[in-house]
A and B are shown apart, each in its own frame.
Chain A
Amino acid sequence: MTPLLAVDDLHLWYDADGGKVVRAVDGVSFTLEQRGEALGIVGESGSGKSSLALALMRMLPKNVARFDGAVRLAGRELTPLSDDQFRREIRWQRIAMVFQGAMSVLNPVLRIGEQIAEPLLLERRYDKARARARVRDLLERVGLPAGFASRYPHELSGGQRQRIGIATALALDPDVLILDEPTSALDVSVQAQIMNLLKDLKEDPGISMLFITHDIGLASDLCDRIAVTYAGEQMEVGPAERVLVAPRHPYSQLLLASLPRLHSDVPPRTMPGDPPDLTAIPAGCRFHPRCPYAWEDCLNHPPGIPLPDGGHARCWLNDPVVAGDRYQIQLRPTEAARD
């Protein structure tokens, strides 16, 4: 079956001060397999996870130094499309996005209904009466009463604003919904409400999602598969139920070990070192300066090594020839190796 979204060797680099280049997305490949699949893109700030979203939406800043790679949507190659074609046919219609701070995304002087209707009225996709009916449907789908259409953003709570962000993204029935930290400013109980809504939308109408977050627990609550991102690369991709208990990349393991567990007295462990500067990425494996398992071979840049469950891990520990005896090392997420 043709994947819904196939991304192959995507790069997005930025020019920075002093002639440096920020390699925010550096050779990322993944697929979103079918309708209603959710892939979690998990990474810390500076890992390039938000740049990946902007690259897929083609919402690029002015200082782009390199932007290439293949993006196919249901088999259709998107890369050759002109910016104008992409705006008319893809952005918001086929691929839509919910941003992190719904507070700053909504226009404070426009009523909620007008904001949701904006993409509907552009290009005369809907006439005014149909747009109004559509706004009512969208509000209902995200769990808000139709009366919210006449309210202003400041009258809404954070959770309600994020629901408006989701309604706006759903306006043109996209195939893929990209969510960039949609709950990071919300309380846990409100976060749970938004997550319940996303779980519903994943079931019906079966929207496929790229869920970008720093919180691997939150990602695993919604997502079928998880892609762990570090320094512009995907370190590990695999089914969430496997990555949580048997990660195959030391970074995934240390990330999981660093989380304080609610129902366990095993103390969370410190991850040594700091994330690399994306203008001066370490040679070889990007994680090797912080990795407790690193050996000489880690100075060679590892490819994504295929795993039996269809995922892959960018770590030599998964290559029996290179790893030798180390191939047997189990990466248990609650007992990270001491540095």
Chain B
Amino acid sequence: MTETLLARSITVSSSQPLLALDDVSMAFRTRRGLFRSGEVTAVAGVSLAIARGETVALVGESGSGKTTVGRVSLRLLQPTSGRVVFDKQDITDVPEERLNWLRKRTAIVFQDPFSSLNPYMTVADLIAEPLVIDGLKDAGVRRAQVRAALAAVDLTPTDRFVNRHPSSMSGGQRQRVGIARALIRNPDYMVADEPVSMVDASSRVEILNLLHGLQRERGVTFLYITHDIASARHFAGRIAVMHLGSIVETGSARQVIDHPVHPYTRALIAAVPEPDPANRFLRRSTEQWQDTPGVAIHADCPHGGSLTLPAVLLEVSGDPGHAVACHLEPPRGR
């Protein structure tokens, strides 16, 4: 029990977090055939705190539960268990009709700028839609705010973009429209769910720099969801690696990438084809990670991997802020 408490105290360490997830689990019902139904645990026991103005990267492969964590943090999903606290208010069980204030203070940038923007709407209408929903009737004020948002995402001169349709724009430009739309209500907290995975390589840095700039200039707090751990190094202060619904390792970008402890983190890093002459023609680890969700146990485990206790996040000894999922004593890093 003390271990569990210790784990919480590590992941919820920020003094005044804007957002805190405490031991959140999320299960979805599935249907198999006509009558049978099952349950899939997408997220199991995730605790995460994000300080004001901080960017945390949630890194994982598909099916790791990273998108579900993002949606729970926005209360787009209600967790099966655990608490969601936004700006000191417990929002876990607040009904949707009483969450309008949260909708105005939070936003999401979606992965796919091709399907997330209505092709029949102009750029101006797309960006202004949240204001219309808020009941802002003055079209002149709306126009001014749309132009300000376009300028904030560098779609300038704004005259050239307001009346265009998404179909006439590049992937990078469309994603800027998606960001402008997310920005229009001046949110405190944004979830960016794979914001550049469908954008061309040479435009990715621009989009990420843009999000980084918003964080600096407006103090926006970010949850950056990505499968690309290299981008997490450069655009997030802290990284949480997710695997099968749980956070298996968390720490500063350097702690996690330069000194990974958990075997899954190590395998994930080794699988990245870095453009480096020393990193060519390698047989990369293709370890299949078929563990039970919530039990991040593995044969490479220095403790033999034979324990059945659920793993908890414990601080790596001698490396403050760096925690790894373990079933036993605090593991040794470095």
The residues of A with any CB-CB pair to B shorter than 8 Å are 44-45, 187-193, 195-196, 199, 214-218, 220-222, 240-241, 244-245, 254-256, 258-263, 265, 267-271, 274-275, 333
Given the complex of chains A and B, what is the CA–CA distance between A284 and B170 in angstroms? Answer: 24
Let me know if B273 and A195 touch, CB within 8 A: yes
Chain A residues contacting B272 (CB-CB under 8 Å) are 188, 217, 262
Chain B residues contacting A260 (CB-CB under 8 Å) are 205, 208, 228, 230-231, 233-235
Max chain B Cβ within 10 angstroms of own Cβ: one of A199, A256, A261, A333: A261
* Contact among A188, A222, A265 with B61 in the assembled complex (CB-CB below 8 Å): A188
Contact of A271 with B202 at beta-carbon distance under 8 Å, contacts A187-B227, A192-B285, A196-B283 already known: yes
Let me know if B234 and A195 touch, CB within 8 A: no
Chain A residues contacting B208 (CB-CB under 8 Å) are 260, 268
Let me know if A192 and B201 touch, CB within 8 A: no
Let me know if A221 and B267 touch, CB within 8 A: no
* Contact among B231, B267, B280 with A189 in the assembled complex (CB-CB below 8 Å): B267
B22 CB–A CB distance under 8 Å: no
Chain A residues contacting B279 (CB-CB under 8 Å) are 217, 220-221
Number of A-B contacts (CB under 8 A): 123
What is the chain A residue whose CB lies nearest that of B204? A258
Let me know if B228 and A263 touch, CB within 8 A: no
B102 CB–A CB distance under 8 Å: no
Chain B residues contacting A193 (CB-CB under 8 Å) are 286
Max chain A Cβ within 10 angstroms of own Cβ: one of B231, B234, B267: B234
Q: What are 15 A-B contacts defined by CB distance under 8 Å? A: A187-B227, A188-B61, A189-B268, A189-B286, A196-B283, A214-B200, A216-B275, A217-B272, A220-B279, A240-B277, A255-B201, A256-B275, A260-B228, A271-B203, A274-B203
Contact of A189 with B285 at beta-carbon distance under 8 Å, contacts A220-B275, A221-B280 already known: yes
* Contact among A188, A216, A265 with B227 in the assembled complex (CB-CB below 8 Å): A188
Other than A218-B273, A271-B202, give 7 A-B pairs with Cβ distance below 8 A: A187-B61, A191-B271, A193-B286, A244-B275, A259-B201, A260-B231, A261-B233
Given the complex of chains A and B, what is the CA–CA distance between A244 and B254 in angstroms? Answer: 24
Chain B residues contacting A274 (CB-CB under 8 Å) are 170, 172, 203
B129 CB–A CB distance under 8 Å: no
Given the complex of chains A and B, what is the CA–CA distance between A254 and B202 in angstroms? Answer: 8
B229 CB–A CB distance under 8 Å: yes
B217 CB–A CB distance under 8 Å: no
Chain A residues contacting B62 (CB-CB under 8 Å) are 187
Let me know if B202 and A275 touch, CB within 8 A: yes
Contact of A244 with B277 at beta-carbon distance under 8 Å, contacts A189-B61, A255-B201 already known: yes
Let me know if A215 and B229 touch, CB within 8 A: no
B257 CB–A CB distance under 8 Å: yes
Question: Number of B residues whose C-beta is below 8 Å from A?
Answer: 45
Given the complex of chains A and B, what is the CA–CA distance between A262 and B203 in angstroms? Answer: 18
Chain B residues contacting A44 (CB-CB under 8 Å) are 200-202
Chain B residues contacting A188 (CB-CB under 8 Å) are 61, 227, 268, 271-272
Given the complex of chains A and B, what is the CA–CA distance between A133 and B324 in angstroms? Answer: 49
Chain B residues contacting A268 (CB-CB under 8 Å) are 205, 208, 234
Chain A residues contacting B202 (CB-CB under 8 Å) are 44, 254-255, 258, 271, 275
Q: Mark B252-291, 1 if CB is under 8 A from A, else 0.
A: 0010011000000001110111111101111111110100
What is the chain B residue whose CB lies nearest that of A38? B281
B324 to chain A: closest CB distance in Å? 19
B112 CB–A CB distance under 8 Å: no
Chain B residues contacting A216 (CB-CB under 8 Å) are 275
B333 to chain A: closest CB distance in Å? 17
Let me know if B271 and A189 touch, CB within 8 A: yes
Q: Mark B278-317, 1 if CB is under 8 A from A, else 0.
A: 0111111111010000000000000000000000000000
Let me know if A192 and B61 touch, CB within 8 A: no
* Contact among B201, B254, B257, B273 with A221 in the assembled complex (CB-CB below 8 Å): B273
B227 to chain A: closest CB distance in Å? 7
Chain A residues contacting B280 (CB-CB under 8 Å) are 220-221, 240-241
What is the chain A residue whose CB lies nearest that of B209? A270
Given the complex of chains A and B, what is the CA–CA distance between A268 and B254 in angstroms? Answer: 16
Q: Mark B26-61, 1 if CB is under 8 A from A, else 0.
A: 000000000000000000000000000000000001
Given the complex of chains A and B, what is the CA–CA distance between A270 and B207 in angstroms? Answer: 9
Let me know if B201 and A215 touch, CB within 8 A: yes
Let me know if A217 and B201 touch, CB within 8 A: no
Max chain A Cβ within 10 angstroms of own Cβ: one of B235, B257, B276, B279: B276
Chain A residues contacting B171 (CB-CB under 8 Å) are 45
Given the complex of chains A and B, what is the CA–CA distance between A184 and B254 in angstroms? Answer: 27
